[in-house]
Structure 1
Amino acid sequence: MDERCALTDASGAPCPTPTAPGAPLALCAAHLAVALDWAEGEFGARGLLLSPCLACGGRVGVRYPDGTLCERCGWRAGDVPDREFGAPVVEVVYYLRFDDRIKIGTSGRLRARVAALPHDELLALEPGGRASERRRHEQFAVSRIPGTEWFERTAELDAHVAALALGVDDPWAQYDEWLAARAAAFA
């Protein structure tokens, strides 16, 4: 015998429809659809964006009843970033590897800065400007190559870089997220 839907109507009469096959709850297909609509309105529905996010280039969005947001940065799909005041600026402290040295620097225009430097790999980023960079230079002063912002690799410096990179697949994507969040704050 088929199990019936567990819901009742406003008068208290039980729903006469059988439970949907394989349903995780004792609900008919129609009531499951109502629950899905509610859940998607409350929590969003994840899916591909029609085109890359204009703020960060992300491809996955979360659709809500009032619009779709980029999953990566939260930018509203269809909104155009206001470039009247130029591109957003995010000050970061960056860690570049070249051979077995690491440069600790800072920039508000990371792509241009990194492109101008010899390096093998962008290892990690952290938010911050000159004051943050100065603190890192002081923290790792024992391994600093005199007169430069380059440092010999040490266990302590490697551990710091590894901690910054933990859970970050791509520092460039992380930077794009920070830029998008900054742009969204002024939209």
Structure 2
Amino acid sequence: MPPDSPIALCERHLAIAGESASVSFGATDLLPSPCLLCRSRLGVRWPSGWLCAVCEWPYGEIPDTDLPPPRVDVVYYLRFDDRIKIGTSVNPRQRFAAIWHDEVLAFERGDRTLERHRHEQFADERFARTEWFEASIPLREHIETLAGGIDPWSRYARWVSEAVALRG
């Protein structure tokens, strides 16, 4: 029995138990190549094949490019200098090309209703009749909570790929 073994089994029986668990629970590993939807390299290997660990798209399955991309509404948070813009878009890359900004801070799924709610929530920090806000402590804390240390573009890619996967 290996000294660091989590259970009292020899190496051979540990290997058998591990293989049995991967059949029931899948084995997380690197995909042979990036997922065609979200570009993640992380996958789950099942006896029936691979799934992307991020968006659960079946590895090797080609998305139907004849279908229009799914609609994924997001509320975005952009920083320019010492100000933060709270806006909404269904195509953030295209939208950001028209907005001066230094950094994409975060995304959250939502449409104009959520955007209006965020504008009301941070009304005290808002520059009159704009979507720009002072980078106050409450607003920065809200953005940090949303971002959760994850790249906003990775999160957006996951939402889009999940929407495609749900569509089938």
Aligned residue among 56, 60, 71 for 2:53:
71
The structural deviation recorded for 1:124 is 1.0
CA distance in 1, matches of 2:9, 2:126: 66
Deviation at 1:33, TM superposition (A): 3.5
Q: Which residue is equivalent to 2:97?
A: 115
State yes or no: 1:82 paired with 2:69.
Answer: no
C-alpha separation in 2, matches of 1:107 and 1:139: 19
Aligned to 2:16: 34
Compare 20-29 and 127-136 and name the one that shifted more.
Answer: 20-29
One-letter amino acid of the structure 2 residue matched with residue 141 of structure 1: A
Larger Rg: 1
Residue equivalent to 1:9: none
Per-residue deviation, 1:141: 1.5
| Aligned position for 1:183 | 164
Matched, 1:171 2:149: no
- Cα distance change of structure 1 residues 117 and 37 upon mapping to structure 2, 3 Å threshold: same
- Where does 1:28-67 land on structure 2 (aligned, <5 Å)? 29=12, 31-67=13-49
TM-score, normalising length: structure 1: 0.82
Amino acid at match of 1:96: L
Please list every run of 5 or more consecutive structure 2 residues that lacks an aligned counterpart in the other structure: none
Structure 1 residue runs of 4 or more that deviate by more than 6 Å after TM superposition: none
> For 2:54 and 2:134, how far apart are their aligned partners in 1?
35
Aligned letter for 2:100? P
> How many Å separate the matches in 2 of 1:21 and 1:145?
64
1:16 paired residue number? none
Q: State the structure with bigger RCO (CA 8 A, min sep 6), 1 or 2.
A: 2
Deviations 1:89-143 (CA, angstroms, capped at 9, x unpaired): 2101000000000000001111211222111111111110000001111111222
User: Compared with structure 1, are the counterparts of its residues 23 and 164 closer, same or farther at alpha carbon in structure 2 (3 Å cutoff)?
Assistant: closer
CA contact (8 A) 2:2 2:10 kept: no
RMSD: 1.7
Distance 1:21 1:87 in 2: 51
Q: Does the C-alpha gap of structure 1 residues 145 and 39 become closer, same or farther in structure 2, counting only changes over 3 Å?
A: same
TM-score, length of structure 2 as denominator length: 0.91
- Structure 2 equivalent of residue 158 of structure 1: 140
Partner of 1:97: 79
Q: Kindly tell me: are residues 23 and 96 of structure 1, through their superposed partners in 2, closer, same or farther at Cα, counting changes over 3 Å?
A: closer
